[in-house]
Amino acid sequence: MLELTRVTAGYDPRDPVVREASLSIAPGESVGLLGPSGCGKSTLARVAALLHRPYAGAVVLDGEPVRGWRHAAPRERRTAVGVVFQQPRLAADPRLTLRELIAQPLRATGRRAEVPDRVAALAPAVGLTAELLGRRPHEVSDGQLQRACLARALVLRPRWLICDEMTAMLDASTTAALVEVVESYRRDSGAGLLAVGHDRVLLERWCDRTVGWRTVCGAGGTAQESMSPTP
């Protein structure tokens, strides 16, 4: 289970973006989190991905409470969660080729030996050719870069996958292709999914169940609607 209980988080303790949000995902389940822009859903996704320490509340990952976030999280916990962000350009080191980008999590965790096999298996799965793997981010389109970012999220075989507006920048065909890659990985691995987005039609088609932001935040809700700056 991935359970978030009464999580309060944000970037200013006096004015948190997320208040008392609760959400739980069963193993192998896919949950869509639906909310307008600027509501705080990306912040909650970062908490779930162990990338942002909440001010209050509890996160339980696979039965164990999470005590450390970011670098303070033990490696086996950090690598249990794969993340795909909205803007591939901001999430990719411009100096790395796509091949290096996909292999980076393996290098960072001392599993360099697995690089050739994993990259060779993942590249065709996400639709990247050998020629594209040799290019750097500025030489590929947003859709091609997001394919590489998805491969990077899958390279360590995470038990949980968090897709934060993964397809917001992409056209319909690339969106359908990336969703198919995620779903085929989940069929093989049984991984759970939290897909965050604002496209109701897409999330309802993609996920087992879709929850609205208001439901997640309970009665506490959120004061910040679309008037707040997008984080």
Partner 1 sequence: MSTAPGPKAPMSPASDSDTKPPEGSGPGPKPPVLSVRGLSVRFRMRGGRHIAAVSDAHFDLAAGECLALVGESGCGKSVLASALLGLLPGNARTSGSALLGDGTELLTADERTLARTVRGRRIGLVPQSPAAHLTPVRTVRAQLEETLRELTGTRGSAVRPAAERAAARASFPAGHLDRYPHELSGGLAQRAATALALIGDAPLLLADEPTTGLDRDLVERTVDELRRHTDGDRALLLITHDLAAAERIADRVAVMYAGRIVELADAERFFGQPGPRHPYAHGLLDALPERAFVPIPGMPPELGALPEGCAFAARCGRADDRCAVLPPFDGRLACHHEVRADGEEPVRA
Which residues are near partner 1 by CB under 8 A? 35-38, 86, 127, 141-144, 165, 168-177, 179-180, 198-202, 204-206, 226-230
> Which tokens sit at 50?
């162990």
Q: Least distance from C-beta 224 to partner 1, angstroms? A: 9
Structural contact between residues 50 and 70, judged by C-beta atoms closer than 8 angstroms = yes
Among 228, 162, 170, 157, smallest CA distance to 202 is for 170
Q: How far is the CB of 187 from partner 1 (least distance, A)?
A: 16
Contact 121, 188 (CB under 8 A): no
* 80 or 84: CB nearest partner 1: 84
Nearer to partner 1, 32 or 54 (CB): 32
Question: Least distance from C-beta 216 to partner 1, angstroms?
Answer: 16
Instruction: Work out how close the CB of 161 gets to partner 1 at its nearest, in angstroms, rounded to a whole number.
Output: 18
Find where tokens 């969660």 sit: 81
The Cα–Cα gap between 31 and 22 comes to 13
Strands 18-25 and 30-34: unpaired
Provide the β-strand partners of residue 52.
Answer: none
Which of 144, 162, 145, 164 shows the shortest CA–CA distance to 154? 162
* Minimum CB–partner distance for residue 73 and partner 1 (Å): 29
Beta carbon nearer to partner 1, 219 or 227: 227
User: Rg of the chain over CA atoms, in angstroms?
Assistant: 17
User: In 3D, which of 62, 84, 89 has the Cα closest to residue 73?
Assistant: 62
For residues 143 and 158, which CB has a smaller minimum distance to partner 1 in the complex? 143
Select 29 or 199, whichever has its Cβ closest to partner 1.
Answer: 199
**Does residue 53 contact residue 70 with C-beta atoms inside 8 Å?**
yes
Q: Please, are residues 194 and 31 in contact by the beta-carbon 8 Å criterion?
A: yes
Of 62 and 180, nearer to partner 1 (C-beta) is 180
Residue 28 CB, shortest distance to partner 1, in Å, is 21
